[in-house]
Amino acid sequence: MILALRALRTNKIRSILTMLGIIIGVASVILLVSIGTGLQAYVTQQFASLGSNKVFILPGKVDLKRVGGRPTTPVSKFELGDVTDIMRGSVVIKDVTPVVTQAGTITYQGEITRADIFGVWENYFAMGNFSADVGSVITQNDVERTRKVVVLGSKPAKDLFGDAEPVGKTVTIGDIRYQVKGVLVSKGGGGALGGDIDERIVIPFTTALRQFNQSRPFMMLVEASDQDAVVEAASDIRRTLLRRLKIDDFTVLEQKELLSTITQFLSVITIALGGIAAISLLVGGIGIMNIMLVSVTERTREIGLRKAVGATGRDILLQFLIESVIVSLVGGIIGILLGGAGSLALRSFVQTEVTLWSVFLASGFSALIGIVFGVAPAIRAARLDPIEALRYE
């Protein structure tokens, strides 16, 4: 052990360069897995903020096996009468709101931002657990009178107004002027069926129909009486809509079902990212083997001398094996620290989360690489004939 440490200290630059591949590999695994895990937490947080008793009704057929897939029928066949029918068709449905949504550009005194524009009834805010940080949300009176008022998400409010007070100001959506009524409390979560909640802006449903030149809802959001009633509510919704529509005209998505599908998809992405990063660990292992083989050649006389004074083949093998393992472990520790620091630095831009399993996996893999790729050079050193080694020039 002492001899191995002394050899590594004597060749500091070579030892550091040998570690570099392991450092990069471990840091990459930690960093990429933390991004994937953070994304999962981001999306889960979004769904949790909406509550676990929600059901989404979308136009066309949505294939859950293909996350992010678009409906096969892009034109909605829903009618406002469906909202009433759904409420009457189930005893476990607490509330329903129609939704019109479209991406758009919002401007204020030269400042421009893009956001998902949601046209909703006043009950949307209570159903989605949304509240105003400043000002107020849309009311029934706003919907009935088709008022040109808007409630901004926290991000559009920041983009357009900075630290200034937005309530009462006039913004332009498309070519139409709207008065800012309030700003929503930041949810800090990822988006579901319409992007990041904090990036949305909300206007009255009737105003949205006129703004987007539409006559019917694009989708509907349903709130069941509680989490246990979601399955029954979804069944009642299908039965109600099938009286007027065909099975391919709509998709009923339970929130848990949607979250499960997205989480599975993100898990695969996280594992794939970790696997891609792990390739650099393999490259680092090959680098260790190459450097150790060179080291054996350079230290042939030293090995011969040690054997001549009584060192066994096993002693030589252990010395070189310990050297490669130390290089891997130290490189792994540095990589973990760098990966963790990189993850913290990225939190200003995306949500990241360093997991213990990724740390243990990366560090364990780096130790394994040291053993596996250190065996060949160690065996070669152990098999050197002491007489021939002493004659080596």
Residues 6+ apart with CB under 8 A from 39: 190, 266, 269, 270, 350, 351
Angle between helices 12-50 and 2-10 (to 10 degrees): 100
pLDDT given at position 176: 93
pLDDT given at position 226: 81
pLDDT given at position 69: 46
Residues of the chain with pLDDT under 50: 3-4, 67-73, 190-191, 193-194, 392
Return the SS3 of 222.
Answer: strand
Rounded-to-integer distance, Cα 182 and Cα 110, Å: 20
Residue 60 phi, psi (nearest 5): 75, -170
What stretches of 188-312 show up as alpha helix (H) in DSSP?
Answer: 205-211, 230-241, 255-298, 300-308
Which is it for the CA torsion 83, 88, 89, 95, positive or negative?
A: positive
Note the pLDDT tens digit of each residue in 88-145.
Answer: 999 999 999 999 999 899 999 989 999 999 999 999 998 888 889 999 999 999 999 9
pLDDT given at position 72: 47
Q: What is the pTM of this model?
A: 0.59
